[in-house]
């Protein structure tokens, strides 16, 4: 009995469940039916009809077994093709997603650029979210978890930094308005000077007119000086706070980057593009360290 089970298990491991069932039927038929039949016929010589009947039944079972094996083979090929198509789809989704993730992450560092409008930044942040969301349709649990963790970190950082950025953008607008006022008063001073020269050449500049023009120029000069001082004050605050904000943006950028390897490693595993986790993380972390050092050197140079 143990030998019989071992034969059936061998079929199961080699050809699958369906083949094992068919093989088991053939095996039990030969094991149980033929010995008894032949034993019964052993008393007398088998007739020609007996031999033909046995041959027919054996061939019939063999034919059925061959058909079943072909069906199993076809099913396996269909499964393999399905797996191949799934990997192709996953590869397309993951390639688009990693590009979208990179762009979304770059938005964090771009927040430091105060010349970019809030509308432009929000558009860049949201327009690629659909590509990242597709990972949830095709990804395994670990991949979905890693990508979700990464995108959640980007979203949280984006909202926090946008709030701080608002004060800097508002002050930038104040600086631009102050510059416009300063420039307007400066233009008036130049206009009065040109007027005085023209009138003097034409002999129309009397003392009263001259005094009035000088008073106007003095007023415009005082206003220009006031706005120059205001600009200096605003720029001093803006430069200090902007530098702090730039550092914060880059710190967030590098901190979020550390969350990326689990997503990449999980996706590579699904696509059978495995790499030693330790090797990949070492390469990735080395680049992060270099990036931080390069940024710190830049900040140090502009702060001197």
Distance CA 166, CA 250 (A): 17
pLDDT in tens, 185-194: 999 999 988 8
Give the pLDDT confidence score for residue 300 in this predicted structure: 86
Residue 150, Cβ density class (10 Å: 0-12 exposed, 13-18 middle, ≥19 buried): buried
The candidate with the shortest Cα–Cα distance to 97, out of 45, 56, 133, 126, is 133
**Cα–chain center distance at 109:** 15
Let me know the angle formed at the C-alpha of 253 by 252 and 259, rounded to the nearest 5 degrees: 95
User: What tokens appear for 223 in the block?
Assistant: 């206003």
Tokens 């510059």 appear where? 179
> Under a CB-based contact definition with an 8 Å cutoff, are residues 253 and 292 in contact?
no
Residues 6+ apart with CB under 8 A from 115: none
Distance CA 296, CA 251 (A): 10
Give the pLDDT confidence score for residue 271 in this predicted structure: 87
User: What tokens appear for 181 in the block?
Assistant: 């006022």
The domain limits of the chain are 2-79, 88-303
Is residue 130 very low, low, confident or very high in pLDDT (cuts 50, 70, 90)?
A: confident
pLDDT in tens, 191-220: 988 888 887 777 777 788 788 888 999 999
Answer yes or no: CATH 1.20.1270 is held by domain 88-303: yes
Give the pLDDT confidence score for residue 19 in this predicted structure: 47
> Under a CB-based contact definition with an 8 Å cutoff, are residues 97 and 268 in contact?
no
pLDDT at 28 over 70: no
Produce one character per residue of 24-60: b if its CB has 16 or more CB atoms within 10 Å, e if not: bebeeeeeeeeeeeeeeeeeeeeeeeeeeebeeeeee
Distance CA 78, CA 41 (A): 47
Distance CA 180, CA 174 (A): 10
CA distance between the termini of the chain: 89
* Stronger pLDDT, 53 or 154, i.e. the higher one: 154
* Stronger pLDDT, 72 or 245, i.e. the higher one: 245
Angle between helices 48-110 and 17-28 (to 10 degrees): 170
pLDDT in tens, 77-88: 555 555 577 778
Q: What is the dihedral of CA 139, 141, 143, 144, to 10 degrees?
A: 80
Distance CA 239, CA 235 (A): 6
Distance CA 227, CA 210 (A): 26
Q: Which residue stretches of 16-47 are H helix?
A: 17-28, 34-41
- Maximum Cα–Cα distance for the chain, whole Å? 155
pLDDT in tens, 149-180: 999 999 999 999 999 999 999 999 999 999 99
Give the pLDDT confidence score for residue 70 in this predicted structure: 62
DSSP-based helix, strand, coil % in the chain, nearest 5? 90, 0, 10
Give the pLDDT confidence score for residue 274 in this predicted structure: 80
Compute the mean pLDDT over every residue in the chain, rounded to the nearest whole number: 80
pLDDT in tens, 97-123: 988 998 888 899 999 999 998 888 888
pLDDT at 21 over 50: no
């Amino acid at each position: 009995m143990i030998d019989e089970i071992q034969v059936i298990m061998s079929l199961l491991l080699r050809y699958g469940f369906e083949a094992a069932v068919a093989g088991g039927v053939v095996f039990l038929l030969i094991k149980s039916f033929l010995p008894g039949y032949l034993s019964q016929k052993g008393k007398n010589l088998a007739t020609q009809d007996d031999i033909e009947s046995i041959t027919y039944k054996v061939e019939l079972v063999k034919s059925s077994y061959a058909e079943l094996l072909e069906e199993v083979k076809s099913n396996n090929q269909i499964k393999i093709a399905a797996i191949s198509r799934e990997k192709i789809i996953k590869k397309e989704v993951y390639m688009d997603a990693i590009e979208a993730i990179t762009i979304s992450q770059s938005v964090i560092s771009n927040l430091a650029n105060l010349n970019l409008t809030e509308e432009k930044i929000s558009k860049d942040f949201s327009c690629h979210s659909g590509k990242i969301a597709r990972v949830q349709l095709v990804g395994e649990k670990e991949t979905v978890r890693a990508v979700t963790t990464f995108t959640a970190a980007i979203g949280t950082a984006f909202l926090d930094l946008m709030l701080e950025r608002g004060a800097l953008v508002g002050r930038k607008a104040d600086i631009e308005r102050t510059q416009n006022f300063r420039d307007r008063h400066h233009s008036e001073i130049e206009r009065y000077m040109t007027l005085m020269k023209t009138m003097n050449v034409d002999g129309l500049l009397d003392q009263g007119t001259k005094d009035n023009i000088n008073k106007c120029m003095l007023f415009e000069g005082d206003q220009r000086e006031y706005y120059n001082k205001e600009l200096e004050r605003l720029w001093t605050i803006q430069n200090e706070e902007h530098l702090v904000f730039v550092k914060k943006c880059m710190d967030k950028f590098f901190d979020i980057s550390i969350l990326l390897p689990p997503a990449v490693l999980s996706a590579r595993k699904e696509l059978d593009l495995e790499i030693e986790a330790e090797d990949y993380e070492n390469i990735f972390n080395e680049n992060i360290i270099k990036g931080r050092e390069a940024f710190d050197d830049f900040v140090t140079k502009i702060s001197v």
